[in-house]
Structures are given as C-alpha cells and as structure tokens.
C-alpha cells in the first residue's frame, strides 16, 4: 500500500475514534504488522509488530529546538489555568505550555550549556524531561510518528535510532540500549508556577510554526476511558486514566495517585522508595505534585496517566493510605 495513502487512511481512522468514541481496535485498519520504512527495527527490544504509526510520519509533528522565551511579567498570552511543564535546572527556571507541546511534543532546549529535551505525549498525558548529553554525545530528539502502547517513540537526528519517551531509552537502531537521565519536572498551572517562581521564563507563543495554540485537540481525551490505539498490557489496580506521579529510585518504581496525595495531612506525603526518603508536596488547586528529598532537593519524577506508567513498569508499587493512616504499597509481580 502506498505510504502516503496508508497514512491518510490511518488519520481517517483516528478521526473516527475522536468523533464517535468507537473502540480504537475497531477503527485501526492498517497492516497488522507495521515497520516504518524510515527506521530500522531489526534489533528492536519492543515487539516490532506492536509498533504502529500514530498519524503523521517522521517529522510530521515538528519538534522545537532552541525556541525563544519571554518573561512572566511581559507576556500575558497564557491564562492562569493553562497547564505547563515546569523545569528548574542550573539556576534557570522555565515553563513550557501544554497547548504548545500538544502540537510539537518535544522541545530541545539549553539550560546554561546543558542540553535537555522537554517531552509530552498527549495520548499518555506524560510529561517528562531528559538530559540529552551522555558520554560526550548530545542527542537532538524528534518525533518519529510511531507509537508503542500509545506512547510516543522519538528518534535522534544523529543516528536515527528510536527512543521510548516513557523509558528514556533507545529501543532500536545503532545506539539501542543508550539511556537518558530523567530530570525533575512538575506538571502544574501557569498561575501556580509563576506564583512559585515569579522570575520564570515562559516559552514564547511565536514558535516559527503556524499553529493555533488556542485549540486543544485533547481537551476531552482525559475525561474518558477510551484509548486511541491498542495496548498489550492491562492493570486494573487504578482507573485507566487516573493521573499519577511516578518515582524511580535505582530500579524500584512507585506510583503516587493524585487522589491519594490530595488526602495527605497538609498535602505533604512522606515515603521511602528503595531506601530513599522522599517528600511530595501536592497543590490541589493546580493538581500539581512536587517530588523532593527531605532537604527539599528536587528528585526526578514523571506525571502521566496510570495506564502508561503501569505498561512501562508492570512491577510498580502503588502508594496508598489505609484507614489507620500508615502508608502502604500495593505491589504486583510481573505476570500476576
């Protein structure tokens, strides 16, 4: 089948899902086994037949690199309720609006000479930032158009290897197995972020692309239990799209449901993950979680829907507070 025509058919299927809410599996009628001609999947650690094209192909969703910024005081193009990914690194604080990331998914940026990729996968609601300098190699990430378990696969422009957003790892191509460092981030409202960091920089609305950033194509996506594409994993310990903040300490994974964090006394949750004491400050009005150690130093974390975190980390624990008030963890072994 002609590649352009195939992409057209798939986009039509996606539109059917969005408009009618039909089960995604019924709407997707591309080939059962798909390997994009642009990428070599021969050494993929993911099942190649479960890697599918999610719409526009390679670079069809344009990543941003070194975009312009403005200040909170001088630019009023966001509302107080707009969601942003907030990042503080090397003494620099920046806010990246979700309304822009919905259209670009990746922003390759610089924090005082340190290269970072701010990433957002709308289908998973996953906000993650990675250090993209490893062993004297710098990676510039871009959108491949491919998905695995609804999560975006990126590619680097240096080797065209495929990278999993949720894993932060190259999963196919010349540098398969290379790992990026996850950085601390917070998904919050613009009002809450600029109140906390009044000197923050804000991504400028002028990105060099003609996009209507006022239109949110995913405005209602998080309010339903429908997924756009098939999954090979299911975990019903939480609701499909329940939002969690995920923490990983030396190979141990733990999910903190926002609903549970909101119930904590003074909205502060103290816990231990693999010997590391952590504190999570939850801001109910902004639905934001700040993960730190007990000295207040930010710890790497990721906010996303439960289905995506559990698919990536099937042996994850879940933090919970029983009636007695003492924290517990609900664990599940792989294969349960």
Tens of pLDDT, residue by residue over 207-239, are: 999 999 999 989 899 999 999 999 999 999 999
pLDDT confidence bin for 335, thresholds 50/70/90:
very low
Cα–Cα distance between 263 and 94 in angstroms, integer? 29
**pTM for the whole structure:** 0.86
The pLDDT assigned to 326 comes to: 56
In 105-228, which ranges are E strands?
106-111, 114-121, 126-131, 133-134, 137-138, 141-148, 151-156, 162-164, 169-172, 181-183, 186-189, 201-203
Q: What is the DSSP letter of 9?
A: H
Q: pLDDT band for position 31 (50/70/90)?
A: very low
Mean pLDDT of the chain: 88
As given in the structure block, the two tokens for residue 98 are 């979700």
Planar angle of CA 59, 47, 120, nearest 5 degrees:
40
Question: CB of 154 within 8 A of CB of 146?
Answer: no
pLDDT score of 16 more than 60: no
Q: Predicted confidence band at 322 (pLDDT cuts at 50, 70, 90)?
A: low
Which 8-state DSSP code applies to residue 327? -
Whole-number pLDDT of residue 23: 35
* Domain spans in the chain, listed from the N-terminal domain onward: 1-211+219-230, 233-330
Please give the helix or strand (H or E) that residue 85 lies within, else none. strand 83-89
Residues 273 and 313 sit within 8 Å (Cβ to Cβ): no
Confidence of residue 35 (pLDDT cuts 50, 70, 90): very low
Q: Above 90 in pLDDT, residue 55?
A: no
Q: Say how far apart CA 235 and CA 255 lie, in whole Å.
A: 13
């Amino acid at each position: 089948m002609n590649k352009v025509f195939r992409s057209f058919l798939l986009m039509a299927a996606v539109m059917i899902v969005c408009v009618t809410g039909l089960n995604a599996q019924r709407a997707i009628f591309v080939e059962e086994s798909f390997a994009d001609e642009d990428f070599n999947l021969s050494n993929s650690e993911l099942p190649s037949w479960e890697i599918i094209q999610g719409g526009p192909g390679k670079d069809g969703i344009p990543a941003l690199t070194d975009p312009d910024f403005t200040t909170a005081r001088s630019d009023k193009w966001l509302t107080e309720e707009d969601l942003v990914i907030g990042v503080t690194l090397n003494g620099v604080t920046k806010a990246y609006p979700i309304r822009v990331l919905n259209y670009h998914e990746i922003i390759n940026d610089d924090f005082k000479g340190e290269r970072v990729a701010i990433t957002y996968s709308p289908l998973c609601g996953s906000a993650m930032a990675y250090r993209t300098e490893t062993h004297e190699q710098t990676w510039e990430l871009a959108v491949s158009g491919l998905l695995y378990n609804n999560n975006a696969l990126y590619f680097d422009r240096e080797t065209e290897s495929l990278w999993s957003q949720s894993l932060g790892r190259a999963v196919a191509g010349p540098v398969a197995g290379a790992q990026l460092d996850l950085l601390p981030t917070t998904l919050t409202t613009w009002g809450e972020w600029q109140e906390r960091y009044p000197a923050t920089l804000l991504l400028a609305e002028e990105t060099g692309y003609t996009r209507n950033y006022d239109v949110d194509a995913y405005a209602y996506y998080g309010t339903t239990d429908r997924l756009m594409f098939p999954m090979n994993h299911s975990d019903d310990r939480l609701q499909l799209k329940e939002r969690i903040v995920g923490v990983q300490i030396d190979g141990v994974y733990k999910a903190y449901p926002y609903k549970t964090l909101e119930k904590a006394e003074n909205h502060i949750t103290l816990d231990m993950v693999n010997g590391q004491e952590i504190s999570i400050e939850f801001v109910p009005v902004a639905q934001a979680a700040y993960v730190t150690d007990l000295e207040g130093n930010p710890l790497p974390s990721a906010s996303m829907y439960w289905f995506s975190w559990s698919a990536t980390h099937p042996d994850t624990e879940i933090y919970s507070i029983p009636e007695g008030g003492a924290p517990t963890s609900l664990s599940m072994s792989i294969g349960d």
